[in-house]
Amino acid sequence: MWRRKWVWEFEMKFKAVLLLLMLLAAITGCGVFNPVTPQPLPTVVLDGRQDATLQATTPQSAAGGVTASGVAAPVQISQMASALGANVKAVNVAVGDQVQAGQVLVSLAGSERLAAALESANLELLMAQQVLQALKNNAGQARAAAGLRLANAQKALDDAQKRRTWMDYRIGSVTDIQAAQAAVTLALDKLKKAQDAYGPLENKSENDINRAAALDALSAAQKHYDQAVANLNSLQNVPNPVDVNQAEAVLQSAQSEAAAAQTAVDLLKNGPDPDAVALAEEQIKNAQAQIAAGQAAMADLDLKAPFAGTISKLNIHSGEWVAPGQVLLVLVDLSALQIETTDLSERDVPKVAVGQPVTVVIKALNQTVAGHVKAISPLADTLGGDVVYQTTIDLDTPPAGLRAGMSVVVQW
């Protein structure tokens, strides 16, 4: 009995709680206790127009004017890169360091190799300069040597021409041959008569005057006969082709040498050989170019600050390998800041001109500063799908406390 009563009381309480929860849910859904009014989200407008929400938080521009967001940026920023591929020998700065113009920030290894190449180029320059100087100093001696060479070449050419011409005339005419045959006949007759005169006296004493005279006449007759026979044979024989070819080759060689000797004399008559001088001068220029390249490479081993500023970023450590063109560090000049707009729309840029005065609202400092347009980028960028142009603003009097990266609003 008591058990049945307890179950009935539990069911009643459970139904009452469930009814109360349903009632509270209905009241909450109707917004009776906590009515909420939706708030509109601010709309960012990139073409110079503003809605009510943006106008409530952004300083207003003059009627018909232009407004753009911007940021304070350093006038000078240098992303310093290596011109060489080399190992980092030393890093002499850290992020935040103040440096002076010309200070060595990073040193690269490789000076020994470049120094050797530079020394070789200096040696080549010295040798080329000496060759050029020798050409100028020995010009007179060279002219004399060229003249002697020409004289010898002309003498050799004359001899070769005579020998070759004689080869052409070795074959005698009929008249010459007949005359030579007659000379042989006469010489033979004289030889026989001399032999006949000498025969009876042959056994006489060597001191016999008649024998000596007859022997002398016999010897002369023999020589005369031999010469006549040789002349006849020469007129009757055809020239040897090998001798002719040899004589022709000697003649051509002599002609070439004479021409070369004459050219040498002509080249040297007004000074050193122009071709030799030109070659020496080109060798000097090449060596000088090698020296300049070596000196530039040596200078590239040390990255020096182009201006006084602050190290804002450091991308390398000592011992690392860097590639040509790799940015090693970023140097900024924080002593001079300018304003760069970020969202000046293409619809508003025609209203902006270089030199135009502007008003710059610096949000972080809660200050308004006058300035003027320094430059307008000739190339567009995109921001959120809109076309924008960056403009650069110079502040007339930069306020104290202005830092790079502070956001601003620029009004025209």
How far apart (Å, rounded) are the C-alpha atoms in residues 218 and 220? 6
More confident residue, 272 or 180: 180
Band of the pLDDT at 243, cuts 50, 70, 90?
confident
pLDDT attached to residue 64: 46
Neighbours of 5 (CB within 10 A): 9
- Does residue 45 fall inside a structural domain? no
Return mean pLDDT, the chain.
82
Residue 295 within any structural domain of the chain: no
What is the tens place of the pLDDT at every residue in 130-187?
Answer: 888 877 777 777 777 778 888 898 889 988 888 887 776 555 677 888 888 999 999 9
Residue 81: both structure tokens together: 């890169």
Confidence category of residue 46, pLDDT binned at 50, 70, 90:
very low
Q: How does residue 33 score in pLDDT terms, banded at 50, 70 and 90?
A: very low
Q: For residues 221, 224, 226 and 232, what is the CA-based torsion angle, rounded to 10 degrees?
A: -140
> Residue range 47-63: average pLDDT?
40
If you write DSSP's letter for every residue of 227-250 in order, what string do you get? HHHHHHHHHHSPPPHHHHHHHHHH
Q: Which residues pair with 67 in a beta bridge?
A: 411
Based on the domain organization, do 391 and 370 belong to the same domain?
A: yes
* pLDDT of 376 strictly over 90: yes
Q: How far are the Cα atoms of 7, 17, 405 from residue 4, in angstroms, in the given order?
A: 5, 21, 79
Cβ neighbours around 225 below 10 Å, total: 21
Residue with tokens 């232009």: 66
208 found inside a domain: yes
Give me the number of domains the chain comprises: 4
CATH number at residue 388: 2.40.30.170
Tell me the pLDDT tens digit for each residue of 328-345. 999 999 889 999 999 999
Is 197 inside any structural domain? yes
State the residue for tokens 């020296």: 291
Q: Which long-range contacts (CB under 8 A, 24 or more apart) does 288-296 make?
A: 288/125, 290/117, 290/120, 290/121, 290/124, 291/118, 291/121, 291/122, 291/125, 294/114, 294/117, 294/118, 294/121, 295/118
Q: Full-prediction pTM beyond 0.75?
A: no
Domain span including residue 383: 52-75+336-411
The CATH number of the domain holding residue 213 is 1.20.58
Q: Is the pLDDT of residue 37 over 50?
A: no
Whether the per-residue pLDDT at 310 is higher than 60: the answer is yes
pLDDT at 39: 41
pLDDT digits 0-9 by tens, 194-229: 999 989 988 888 888 988 898 999 999 999 999 998
What is the domain-level CATH number for residue 325?
2.40.50.100
pLDDT bin (cut points 50, 70, 90) of residue 188 is very high
Q: Indicate whether 61 belongs to any domain.
A: yes
Task: Examine residue 250 and state whether it is found in any structural domain, yes or no.
Answer: no
Are residues 219 and 180 part of one domain?
Answer: yes
pLDDT of 6 over the 50 cut: no
Identify the DSSP state of 363: T
> How far is it, in rounded angstroms, from Cα 95 to Cα 266?
71
Highest mean pLDDT among 16-25, 151-160, 230-239, 370-379: 370-379
> In the chain, what percentage of residues exceed pLDDT 90?
50
**Quick one: 367 and 319 in the same domain?**
no
* CA 13 – CA 152 distance, rounded (Å): 145
Q: What is the pLDDT of residue 1?
A: 46
Q: Average of pLDDT values for 234-257?
A: 81
Q: How confident is the model at residue 275 (pLDDT cuts 50, 70, 90)?
A: confident
Q: Which residue has the higher pLDDT, 401 or 134?
A: 401
260 in any annotated domain = no
**Among 68, 3, 137, which Cα is nearest to 392's?**
68
In a domain, 224, yes or no: yes
Boundary residue ending a domain (189, 221, 238): 238
For 331-352, give the DSSP string: EE-TTSEEEEES--BTTTGGG-
* pLDDT at residue 257 is higher than 70: yes
User: How many of the other CB atoms lie within 10 Å of CB of 193?
Assistant: 13
Residues 7 and 22 in one domain: yes
Boundary-marking domain end, from 289, 314, 330:
330
- Which pLDDT score is estimated for 9? 59
Residues whose CB is less than 8 angstroms from the CB of residue 349 and which lie 6 or more positions away in sequence, other chains included: 376, 389, 391
Rounded Cα gap, residues 278 and 4, in angstroms:
130
